[in-house]
Chain A
Amino acid sequence: MTSVGTGYDLSNSVFSPDGRNFQVEYASKAVENGGTSIGIKCQDGVVLAVEKIVTSKLLVPNKNNRIQTVGKHIGVVYSGMLPDGRNLVSKCRGEYQTYMSQYKEPITVPYLIDRIGGFLQAYTCYNSVRPFGVTTIIGGIDESGPHLYMLEPSGTYWGYHGAATGKGRQSAKNELEKLDMATLSAKDAVKEAARIIYLAHEDNKDKDFEIEITWCSKSETNGTHQFVPEDLLQEAKEYAEAKLNEESDDDETMSD
């Protein structure tokens, strides 16, 4: 970043001479080191998973949840500055509630994303605010089927079959590309999600972590967003560990 220190990086509402908004780029930096989050759109639903770095052994295990719900049918996970993420989720919930009171039906996922995308974009335009320091993956089911989107601090959003953000995003993306999303069942997607999070954690290996997985599937959860049941989570973890060991064994034999 050649323009760092030239003063163009101090304010949102000022472009640098080469046409960049540095505040937005810095916000993305905040995301790059956060725990990895991924989303998978499978056959009849979506699966969200996140790597929770355990910073202290005094933290209560399996609390301090990272994946949140909007309405009954939409899940949200994010990497980066967690308080910003929570704020964004409360915005999403506000949108859901407003839509509900006006139209008496749940908001559709694409409409929600569009609203929130516009909202994020507004936070890149004014020097009175800073952009959100999170990249957010939003997945859910509405009457037109499952949806998965990823929103960046700039307000950009795209629809995905598989999305990843946070520190291990690169290796996660590589793995996501190998999946055949169209035929993947929700249960298998949960297992793959666990595997990918375990794999992505290799980039952050010196720290302990927990894994959190939610799903939203027509066949499994009747279209509502929920944490996966304990036994499935356990199964997925075992699957992930087994796969990971397999791979590292392969690596060793290859290098021999």
Chain B
Amino acid sequence: MDHDPFRWGRPSDATYGAYNTAIANASAHGSSANSSEYPKMNTQQPIVTGTSVIAMKFRDGIIIAADNLGSYGSLARFTEVERLFPVGENAVVGVSGDISDLQEVGRLLEQLETETSYDYDGHSLRAPHIHEYLQKVFYARRSKMDPLWNSVVVGGLEDGKPFLKYVDLLGVTYSSPTIATGFGAHLAIPLLRKVVFKEEDVESIDEATARKAIEECMKVLYYRDARSLDKYSLITITKEKGVVFEKNLKSENQSWRFAKDIKGYGTQVV
């Protein structure tokens, strides 16, 4: 690497030859005037991001939560971002990852909903259909090498039973009684699995227990995920009450006493 302050970060000319400025123009594809020797380039990384979405099944339905932060790198840039989308009559889509792509997903879902409402055939748009659709969208985009940079959790009810399934920017999907995206996959999943480990356990968990577990996870995520916020939205879907959307929830009873014991960062002397 070149350590000259004006050329810092670039490969050193001595080792790699002169820096090719065409790289900077690579994404301006399609115009023949720009005779870039690089092929078309699309999104290489997310810009403004939302962190984890966490969700779990319980006896009568599902519960899902996501905080309201849009981070610009490590900067907590936007604090009012809604990352949960209720769709149709009893489904919700929780989105993490790039916020501009999240907005595009939101528009796709709205269009889908509008088009569904045009038909009077009694065929409602339910969670499995929404999940299947999103999977096709994500996979089609990744196959164009232009992914929507998100991982998504779709929750709802199907045939009166809880439905929870994941899909991400590659079009990968899986289903599980507990699902979390991003940092939550590391921090929240072990905690949620203490409550529900296998599909069979879902039957024995009621809404209050599930909610407590989710709230606890949101708090732990706020403690340990530096791209998170203690303000979040939460949706529960049950047969009885349908979709219940709660906004501006706050992680309560925080205790930061553990922080003083954490070593290895900042200015502290180890």
Q: Which chain A residues have a beta carbon within 8 Å of chain B's beta carbons?
A: 63, 65, 68-69, 71-72, 93, 96-97, 100-101, 104
B118 surroundings in chain A (CB, below 8 A): 68-69, 93
Identify 15 residue pairs between A and B in the complex whose beta-carbon atoms are under 8 Å apart, listed by A's number.
A63-B120, A65-B120, A68-B118, A69-B117, A69-B118, A71-B114, A72-B114, A72-B117, A93-B118, A96-B114, A97-B111, A100-B107, A100-B111, A101-B107, A104-B107
**Interface size band for B:** under 10
A96 surroundings in chain B (CB, below 8 A): 114
Residue of B nearest to A93 (CB): B118
Q: How far in angstroms is the closest Cβ of chain B from A196?
A: 24
Q: Which chain B residues have a beta carbon within 8 Å of chain A's beta carbons?
A: 107, 111, 114, 117-118, 120
Residue of B nearest to A90 (CB): B118
A69 surroundings in chain B (CB, below 8 A): 117-118
Residue of B nearest to A71 (CB): B114
* 5 nearest CB pairs, A to B: A65-B120, A69-B117, A69-B118, A72-B114, A71-B114
Compute how far the CA of A125 lies from the CA of B246 in the bound complex, rounded to whole angstroms: 55
B114 surroundings in chain A (CB, below 8 A): 71-72, 96
Residue of A nearest to B120 (CB): A65
Compute how far the CA of A65 lies from the CA of B117 in the bound complex, rounded to whole angstroms: 13
A104 surroundings in chain B (CB, below 8 A): 107
Compute how far the CA of A93 lies from the CA of B107 in the bound complex, rounded to whole angstroms: 16
A97 surroundings in chain B (CB, below 8 A): 111
Q: How far in angstroms is the closest Cβ of chain A from B117?
A: 6
Q: How far in angstroms is the closest Cβ of chain A from B35?
A: 32
* 6 additional contacts (CB under 8 A) given A68-B118, A72-B114, A100-B107: A63-B120, A65-B120, A69-B117, A69-B118, A97-B111, A100-B111
A68 surroundings in chain B (CB, below 8 A): 118
